[in-house]
Amino acid sequence: MITIITGTDTGVGKTVATAALAVRSGPGTIVVKPAQTGIGTDEPDISVVARLAGCEVAEFTRLEDPLAPDTAARRRGIEIPPIGEHAARIRELARTRDTVIVEGAGGLLVRLDTEGGTLLDLATGLAVDHPVRVYVVTRAGLGTLNHTELTVNALRSRHLEPAGLVLGAVPETLGLAEECNLAELPRVTGVPIVAAIPDGAGGLEPEQFRARADSWLAGFRAGYAVS
C-alpha cells in the first residue's frame, strides 16, 4: 500500500501527522520525503519522522533554501529529478515494504521538480498500478474550509478520493471556529475526519508519542477526543 500525505498549505502539521500514521501502520513501513527544502534551518522533516515514529525513512532531494522545491532548485541552478523518477523509486520500495508513506512539501500543487510536477501528479501516476490512499492534513480553525475543499476538489479532479482528513495541531481549548469546523469540514468536503493530532505532539518524547499515536487516529470513531 502507498499512502500519500498532503496538506492544505505549509505548517499545518503534515510531518507530525505522517509520523503518527507511520506508528499506526506498524513494522514494514517506510516514510519517503521526495523533496526537502530549508536544510540547515530546522530539523529536516524526515529526521522528525524517524525520531518520533522510529521507522525506516528515505529522502530523495535536499535543497538549501526554505522555499518550494522548484523555486529552491532554480534559484541555485540545480536540476532535481522529475516526478517520474520519484514514482519509480517509490514503486521499487513498495515491492519490499508493507506500507510506503509519502509526505509532500507544502500543499498538493506545490511543484516538486523543475518540470512542473506536483504531488498530485505523483499520486495520480502511482495510482495507475498501485493502491493509493491520500490523507489531507488541515487546520481546525478559521479559514480551513476553503483551503480544504480546494484540496479535496483537486484530488477528485484526478479521480482520487481522499481517505480522510487529519486535523493537525489541534489546540487544547477549542474556539467557536474550531467547534463548528468539526462538523463543517466533513459536510462541505464529503470526507470524514479520521484523526486529530493535538498541538505540541511533536514535542513529546518518542516513547510517549508512539504510545499516544493510535488514540489520535481513532479519536473520531465516537466523537471528538484528543489525549
Instruction: State the pairing for strand pair 56-62/2-7.
Output: unpaired
Binding-site residues for ATP, in ranges, read 11-16, 45, 103-106
Its pTM stands at 0.91
Do residues 193 and 186 touch, judged by C-beta distance below 8 A? yes
- pLDDT tens profile 205-220: 999 999 999 889 864 4
Work out the pLDDT band at 139, boundaries 50, 70, 90. very high
Q: Grid coordinates representing 110?
A: 506545490
Taking the C-alpha atoms of residue 57 and residue 67, their distance in angstroms, rounded to an integer, is 22
Q: Considering 5, 20, 33, 220, which one is annotated as catalytic?
A: 33
Which tens digit of pLDDT belongs to each residue from 86-110? 999 999 999 999 999 999 988 999 9
The cell for 66 is 526554505
217, 20 in Cβ contact below 8 A? Answer: yes
The domain 2-217 having CATH identifier 3.40.50.300: the answer here is yes
Contacts of residue 31, Cβ cutoff 8 Å, sequence gap at least 6: 18, 19, 22, 46, 49, 50, 53, 55, 56, 57, 58, 100, 101, 102, 103
Which residue ranges are tagged as binding site for Mg(2+)? Answer: 15, 45, 103
Residue 225 pLDDT level (bands cut at 50, 70, 90): very low
Other residues' Cβ atoms within 10 Å of the Cβ of residue 159: 8
Mark whether 83 is an active-site residue.
no
Give the H/E segment covering residue 209.
helix 206-217
- Which positions ≥6 away from 179 have C-beta within 8 Å? none
Sorted by where each begins, the domain ranges of the chain are 2-217
Give residue 221's pLDDT: 40
